[in-house]
Structure 1
């Protein structure tokens, strides 16, 4: 490697100390830019989709554009691990491993600096706001994305619960589509001594929660509804509540199935609100498309695993979590895969999760071997 692994580990641990939330990753982007400052890439597209960065290497011959993506953002979770480089940003942490993913792509940049592509383009994309589902959409909507529109797009995510260095993949649907749904109920306040004078949404709220939790039984395809928050009125013992909200995450392995799930939830919630004479409105956030892997991308990854003598586990069922990389499948032959981060590793988003630095050279080797197959 042209620069020692210790320097990539130092970068990863520095990123770990200073996490930033989705859409706020300016300092993180600056740290990445500083690391790439001495590299001889062809082009840099800054502030892509907000705080994103795209480093481009161009070959001398015609060929495909191959994009590799990692994530810039951390999470609003207080870190409870005891590592010496624990987060210095109170209430923020890299307990999903995006710091490690950035280190892998930074190491890939070092490889490209020594062995640039002969054909086409290679793009290293540091994407903002993956955790909220907004980042990929913002990058794709940026007019400058046309300059790097890829033929192939690859991304990895470390996966606790799988053996260290094991590749976890499947063609077709790989990670679920999901969306956060908020259901607002509008009634009428009254004095709690005279509740009959108002119109409390309490009963409707309870019925909607029960309905949502049972809703997946109406679908043959996989769906999941998780009620994550509910609030009724205010803490005011002299007042009958007039407002309520129920929030739930809706999931499916297929975008169309998720759309039907949401439509049915809206219809049944509206029926319940109508029964009680309540107003109702719906709001949505953190909307993720399903991640769908192209068969050619999967075959390339299979060959790479064989070349590098890495174990590839082809899973039969998609993962229930979501990743906004799924949007890239509308533009390119995309491939999202997992890289095992250890059987005893805390799960993603747990407050004591820490990315294992042993994965950095493995991730770099996988990505660089893909470049050798497509752009050399």
Structure 2
């Protein structure tokens, strides 16, 4: 896999950084050890400015190029997941119940590698803003950083990010011009019935049957209320009720996820779900409340920026190892907020075979970190080239 020669020279350092980060996973916004390690490395590299404490533990570092020019933003997320690691690695998580199961340790390492190279060479005009973000998995840290003004404060004109992709060829890239990942919403249904003896169901108002009815009826939103060629997912992922075999409980709870691209489809889902919950509750003689939480918006690449970024990826990985129009998928990503604020693109970097994202046996492939760092570095140099002398 071709990489920038200088980045290849310190690839062993990148592996060491990544594996250290893997041992200290932290959640959401509460990432002081991770942020401290990042800041220490950036100071060693000699960045021109280091701004800490954004979105609690987020960081923006500035590297000045040669001469005047715009500011390009590069983002990496660094929070982990509440998962117990099951890899058996000698650098496994030291924080019980927390794990880098989505590769954010790798994302951070790739941006640190690019930072080291860019601070050494400065072969670009204008500035680069290195955005290290907490709370991608929960909390929408990208949105918080945008709300705290990083785009205007640092005059960022365009912004880019990478995510690793298990199961895709190691060191290969894919992206899409326009919509790439879906908006994600969460729904909660709280059911209040009347409990009773399992042998005397006529004396109860059974929330278990109501929960089953609501769960089944919700699936008709996709199959009967929605145009089949538009993307939509509605998944019930939890039902909790009851404790013993011979007692009808008095409460039940449903939870699930909704994935959309079109705000009109999202609105339809909300309206239909409310009608279904109300109607099913009435039919079973129970009370039910729907709490619908609107989450991250759809991740939509700027078409021109995505095409440009795919071209840069081709320089690093080879044109035959870049899928520039991969289509869209139903996962979600809070980088969407940054793409709403500025044009840019989000790409996936293949890491080969292995456990999937959010799996207790997942581990980032250190061999692709220099590829990602090279992509970030070349992106800056191609987006903001030095004037010819």
TM-score by length of 2: 0.89
Separation of aligned partners in 1, 2:151 and 2:314: 33
Is it true that 1:219 corresponds to 2:232 in the alignment?
Answer: no
- Partners of 2:197 and 2:248 within 8 A in 1: yes
Q: Partner of 1:367 in structure 2?
A: 376
CA contact (8 A) 2:70 2:155 kept: no
**Residue in structure 2 matching 1:31, options 11, 31, 37:** 37
Shift of 1:60: 5.8
The 8 Å contact of residues 261 and 298 in structure 2, kept in 1 or not, is answered as yes
Q: How far off its partner does 1:219 sit? A: 1.4
Does structure 1 retain, via aligned residues, the 8 Å contact 2:195–2:248? yes
Determine the C-alpha separation between the residues in 1 that align with 2:271 and 2:121: 51
Pairs within 5 Å for 1:133-282:
133-143=139-149, 145-190=151-196, 195-217=201-223, 218-220=225-227, 221-232=230-241, 234-235=242-243, 240-282=248-290
Picking from 309, 319, 337, the partner of 2:347 is 337
The separation in 2 between residues aligned to 1:277 and 1:42, in whole angstroms, is 66
Q: Are 1:113 and 2:113 matched, yes or no?
A: no
Secondary structure in 2 matching 1:335 = strand
Aligned residues: 374
CA distance in 2, matches of 1:160, 1:118: 32
Partner of 2:365: 356
**CA distance in structure 1 between the partners assigned to 2:115 and 2:218 by the alignment:** 46
What residue in structure 2 maps to residue 72 of structure 1?
78
SS of corresponding position for 1:119 = coil
Cα drift, residue 9 of structure 1: 0.8
**Superposed displacement of residue 253, structure 1:** 3.2
Give the C-alpha shift of residue 84 in structure 1. 1.5
Is the CA contact 1:255–1:289 (under 8 Å) kept in the aligned structure 2? no
Query: What is the aligned-residue RMSD (CA, Å)?
Result: 2.2
Question: Structure 1: which 5+ residue stretches go unaligned?
Answer: none
Partner of 1:18: 24
Determine the structure 1 residue equivalent to 2:331. Answer: 321
Alpha-carbon distance in structure 2 between the residues aligned to 1:298 and 1:143: 24
How far the C-alpha of 1:143 sits from its partner, in A, is 4.1
Partner of 1:97: 103
Q: Does 1:42 align with 2:19?
A: no
SS of structure 2 residue aligned to 1:185: strand
Shift of 1:237: 6.4
TM-score of the superposed pair, with normalisation by structure 1:
0.92
Partner of 1:86: 92
Q: Residue 37 of structure 1: SS of its match in structure 2? A: helix
Structure 2 residue matching 1:63: 3-state secondary structure: coil
